Homo-oligomer: A and B are copies of this chain.
Amino acid sequence: MVETAPVRLDSAKTTATTHPHRVVIVGGGFGGLYAAQSFKGSPVEVTLVDRRNFHLFQPLLYQVAIGGLSPGDIASPLRSVLKRQKNTQVLLGEMTDIDADQQVLHLKDGDTLPYDSLILATGSAHHYFGNDHWESLAPSIKTIEDALEVRRRIFLAFEKAELEPDPDIRAALLTFVVVGAGPTGVELAGAIADLAYNTLKKDFRSIDPTQTRIILVEGMDRVLPPFDPSLSKRAAEDLERLGIHVRTKTFVTALEEDKVTVKSGDAEETIRAHTVLWAAGVRASSLGKVVAEKTGAPSDRAGRIMVEPDFSVPNHPNIFVIGDLAHYAHQGERPLPGVAPVAMQGGKYVARVIRDRLNNQSTPAFTYTDSGSLAIIGRSSAVVDLNWIKFTGFSAWIIWALVHVMFLIEFDNKIIVMTQWMWNFFTRNQGARLITGRDVIKSDSAFMKQ
């Protein structure tokens, strides 16, 4: 490959002869994308680097996993989102290293990318608390590929159960354990219940999907720990009413193929379950380590970078870390949570800091505006805590749906997702329950040999 800088902004399109201030953003999630969009019209040259060519609306990823939505419904091509922003270049690439002295990023394939200001927003990965080998036994849902793999496991479990003559194995195939009762775990368990007890009810001839057992395991003393206790209580009732077995103060102590061992107090129990899904913990993306090493920044136990009040890295005022990769401890008693609004607001704020600096202006301190929390429970219930008002049930479900559709980046997706939801809601059908991937049957045959 020819050794020249890979990023060539068309010279006809840049008016200044000396180059404008170069902002490089790594990661096109909520933090990175909102930062990029905040530079619209600014006299800077923005480069957004992502390993994927799309922005993913992660809050709805579990819907892909249970076959309610297709990947395309919740993803927007980054180029498409930013096509009209002339000062912004999108680049498919993976950051591998950073040279803070030379102000240069290193990408996979040997390319380099110089920056004047750098915004790192590479997000989080799932966390197995030292048991990384559990990942293949109990997948999480962080990427589209994860979601399609989980979808494959869920629907293959029903297919195998239909073929299985041994009642014990059949029961294990129809047992689903979700580890972690935060919003993702609650939403996933609720969606599986809805699938088994409604959508698939009449689809099989040998098995009865309403016999499916769904167990939601949580280490804390209540479901939805970040929410108000009254909402946790209501959520637990809704889950139980859906037919889900909720087990709080319970930890996973061992995981084997088709077996999960849980401990509650001193009591240990081994559950035979073919499908175990992980929604328990997150850590910073692997890039956190590189950033900490190369900038000397301190990081927390989850690998998140401890940032300054303006989201910059200590001693590197032109490097910013936002979103799930950042540990922001300058507001409230606890660090800001790893949720989309924190990333969005952080992204907008650092864009403002950079613009203000170029204008020799100072920027007021960052204040996180917490507009509340939402979680959906099954087909038509949700809990919503807007701080000034809390509500549950169907009205909460409507709010949840509106908020989620509103934040879909492209109008295109809003239309499709609304259409799809209305259809799924009224028919209790979910059309995207496809088992895909090569060698559908072969790849999971190890299970059949037990």
- Measuring CB to CB, which residues of chain A are less than 8 angstroms from any residue of chain B? 1-2, 4, 6-10, 13, 51-54, 67, 69-73, 75-77, 79-80, 83-84, 89-94, 108-109, 111, 144-145, 155-156, 159, 162-166, 200, 202-206, 410, 412-413, 415-416, 419-420, 423, 427, 429, 431-438, 440-442, 445, 448-449
Contacts and interface: CB of A to CB of B under 8 A. Distances in A.
A432 B413 CA distance: 10
A71 B165 contact: no
Contact of A80 (B205, B429, B448): B429
Contacts of A77: 203, 431, 433-434
A416 B427 CA distance: 14
Contacts of A431: 72, 75-77, 80, 410, 412-413, 416
Nearest to A433: B77
A93 to B, nearest CB: 7
B415 A423 contact: yes
Contacts of A445: 109
B108 A442 contact: yes
A89 B108 CA distance: 50
Contact of A2 (B145, B166, B419, B429): B166
Nearest to A450: B1
B70 A73 contact: yes
Contacts of A70: 70-73, 432
A87 to B, nearest CB: 10
Contacts of A54: 434-435
Contacts of A6: 163-165
A194 to B, nearest CB: 15
A204 B79 contact: yes
Contacts of A10: 205-206
Given A1-B449, A412-B429, A416-B419, A145 B436 contact: yes
A440 to B, nearest CB: 6
A83 B53 contact: no
Contacts of A92: 156, 159, 162-163, 435, 440-441
A109 to B, nearest CB: 6
A164 to B, nearest CB: 8
Counting from the closest, the 10 A-B pairs by CB-CB distance are A72-B432, A70-B70, A70-B72, A79-B203, A92-B159, A89-B205, A412-B431, A6-B163, A4-B165, A83-B202
Nearest to A73: B70
A13 B79 contact: no
